[in-house]
Amino acid sequence: MPWEKTIKIEKEVVTPVFVSLVSSAPSLSALTSQGAINPTLSYDGTKLAYGRSSEDKNEADKNGIWVYELTSLPLGFNRQPRQVTDVETRTSSWEWSFDGNSLLINTKTGSYLIDTNTFTEIRNARVLTPTQIEELKADWKNTMNVQTEAQLSSIEDKIKQALIPSSANRIMSPDETKVLYEATKSATLLRAERQLPGSSTQTETREIKSGFKYVYDIKEDRNFEVGRSEDLLMWSNNSHNLIQVERGSISVKDYDNTNKQLVFAGNFLYPYVFSGLGGGRILVTTSLGAEGDANLYWLVLR
């Protein structure tokens, strides 16, 4: 697919250009074949939990929650999904712990915390009380806030004082050099004292407004409007591209909101789309027109 960008050339200044090319005909490769119910991504984006529920008696022992690690093995080999519990998934919901090592599972009979590094029969899991659940979630939220504060510590104070009170839903890029955020009120981002030579010359905005999403480049002190609050955006594993998911289509674009390229158009379960950490892949949940539960497919971009 075509890619272009206009760059301001300055004498004796080197301006890096990151080019991410996408195949004109991305391919689909199946990850699951027996259904993927309620796929849920861990906070760090490295693991995906999904349910299986087959009426086939020969497959009954495989019903439950499975975990797939999105990180690749050496030489590009994929990891295999593994079953972590046998809970009934059609009537249950689940959410990840902040460290990605546990799942909080809510069922008709109670709530359970299971270790995702081993298999646990749900009948042997300990039921949590409402107070324990509340304390658990409070601890996860506190840990997340501490980590987010540490990730944003390199932003100059005068910018941070405007950015943090005026934003929500902040998501760091995988390399932690940029932050995708939603503005909750109007604010002005002052210019940082330290300016990196060769920084992006693309059009940016220092005036943020409620109802829009932006990317702030911490290293280069650049701020780009990338969409509206309702837009579903996520980081690509290369920390330079954003994946934009709309009903019926998936696109990839540069973090400065240029070079938007359509990579998939068709039937899939919105919003169950995930960025793969292996490079050049997106995980899509679709049935491809077949009956039964939708499955997970790798959309291979290169």
Identify the band that residue 194 occupies on the pLDDT scale cut at 50, 70 and 90.
Answer: confident
- Look at residue 233 and tell me if it is in a domain: yes
- Look at residue 185 and tell me if it is in a domain: yes
- In sequence order, the β-bridge partners of residue 207 are 188
Identify the band that residue 7 occupies on the pLDDT scale cut at 50, 70 and 90.
Answer: low
Compute the distance between CA of residue 106 and CA of residue 25 in angstroms, rounded to an integer.
Answer: 41
Q: Look over the chain and give the mean of its residue pLDDT values, rounded to a whole number.
A: 90
- Look at residue 96 and tell me if it is in a domain: no
Compute the distance between CA of residue 34 and CA of residue 52 in angstroms, rounded to an integer.
Answer: 7
- Look at residue 177 and tell me if it is in a domain: yes
What domain count does the chain have?
1
- Look at residue 60 and tell me if it is in a domain: no
Is 273 exposed, middle or buried (CB count within 10 Å of its CB: 0-12, 13-18, 19+)?
Answer: buried
Give 247-282 pLDDT, tens digit per residue.
Answer: 999 999 999 999 999 999 999 999 999 997 656 899
Give 179-191 pLDDT, tens digit per residue.
Answer: 999 999 999 999 9
Judged by average pLDDT, the poorest of 52-61, 73-82, 194-203, 293-302 is 73-82
- Look at residue 166 and tell me if it is in a domain: yes
Q: What is the pTM of this model?
A: 0.89
- Look at residue 226 and tell me if it is in a domain: yes
Segment 226-247 shows an average pLDDT of 96
Exposure string over 157-174, b if 16+ CB within 10 A, otherwise e: eebeebbbebbeeebbbb
**Could you tell me the residue range of the domain that residue 258 belongs to?**
1-26+155-266
Taking phi over 0 as left and psi of -120 to 50 as alpha, with beta for the rest, 263 belongs to alpha
